[in-house]
Amino acid sequence: MKGYLHAGLGAVIRSVVKAHESVVQAAGAMLPAQFVLAQHAAGISRTVLLGAAANLRFADHLASGPLTATDLAARCQADEGAVHRTMRALVALGIFELGSDGRFRNNRISKALCTGAQGSALNAALYWASGSNVAAWGDYLRTVQTGETAFDRVHGMSLWSWLRKNPQEASDFNGYMQEVTEVAAPAIAMGYPFSEIRTLCDVGGGRGTLLAGILEANPNLRGILADAPTVLEDARAFLTERGVIDRIERIPTDFFERVPEGADAYLLKDILHDWDDIRAIQVLRNIRRAAKPDARVLIVEIMVEPHDTEFLGTMIDVLMMTVCGGRQRSRDDFRNLFDAAGFRLSRVVKIAHLMSVVEGIAI
């Protein structure tokens, strides 16, 4: 029942997101164009305001009760005036509240910035406001002019190399990916017929957030978690806590070299969109070499068709272009990748939480 409730919530979220986009567009149509454009142009200020609140743990400090800017600044060892002005701006954005007594307090939105909160967005705020990410977006114009990835150009290395050299940013990034997966996992688990599968290999599955959710919804399913050795070690405690450690084999994997053999299906959530077609085909070919005939490959991503204008999909697409060199793909794009790697596109299963499961069959 819990899974169905989460899947139903995913459908509600999808509807509310679309309604929100419609309301924003309708409001924009009634305002002067320069006002609308100025608001959009100021978007970076919202990013860094949230990043400051996340880094200084404002929401954590307010969790025990309201505080003045003086008290809040003392607790996070920051400038009193700057804290007051930052919090005042965040209140204006609907994040935090300011009482008539001059004290700031958490509201429904800011509570999602608390450490360890259910439905947390703390790591999302930390990642988006990280110096490396903001710097890459600052050079976006040249990406539009050249088609080259801004992150590589600005930092002289790929995002993945950068994260290996900067463990705190890697922790924030991985936490952000976990937050995103935790929100989507119940809808994915209920939206695709995983009961048809006996062994599912989650390729690049991190600490197993999605795989654990799928196994909880399918008691007869066994899993393989394939990722880097350090990631798998971190996964042990999480999978034990979720009660699925005995049903999951953890296998160290570099998916550009090889993947575990013999699974009935291979799952890749938000993996291929990080890479260009050449690298994506390389990953799929490695899966095809490991897969038995008729095994499935399941790509879980937001699909974006050439003329789609839905906000989330298009924004993630330009994020991939800016920081990874990848892209969100259409149905035909996936068909072409599958054809090049030895799979046949068999179906696309739309799930409630804005994503799709693109299924290929090994031929």
Residue with tokens 């892209």: 327
**What does the alpha-carbon distance between residue 93 and residue 98 come to, in Å, rounded to a whole number?**
12
Ordered alpha helix ranges (H), 295-330: 311-323
Torsion angles phi and psi, residue 55, rounded to 5: -65, -35
Torsion angles phi and psi, residue 66, rounded to 5: -65, 150
Q: Identify the active-site residue in 6, 84, 273, 353.
A: 273
Structure-token pair, residue 311: 């906000």
Q: Which of 356, 200, 228 is nearest to 291 (CA)?
A: 200
- CB contact set of 307 (below 8 Å; sequence gap of 6+): none
Residues in the chain, total = 363
Kindly state the DSSP code that residue 361 receives in the 8-state scheme. Answer: E
With H, G, I as helix, E, B as strand and everything else as coil, classify residue 71.
Answer: helix
**What does the alpha-carbon distance between residue 328 and residue 333 come to, in Å, rounded to a whole number?**
9
Structure-token pair, residue 182: 């935790």
User: Does residue 84 have an active-site annotation?
Assistant: no
Torsion angle in degrees (nearest 10) through CA of 169, 227, 175, 191: 150
- CB contact set of 108 (below 8 Å; sequence gap of 6+): none
- Return the biggest CA–CA distance within the chain: 69
- Would you please indicate which residues are annotated as catalytic (active-site) residues? 273
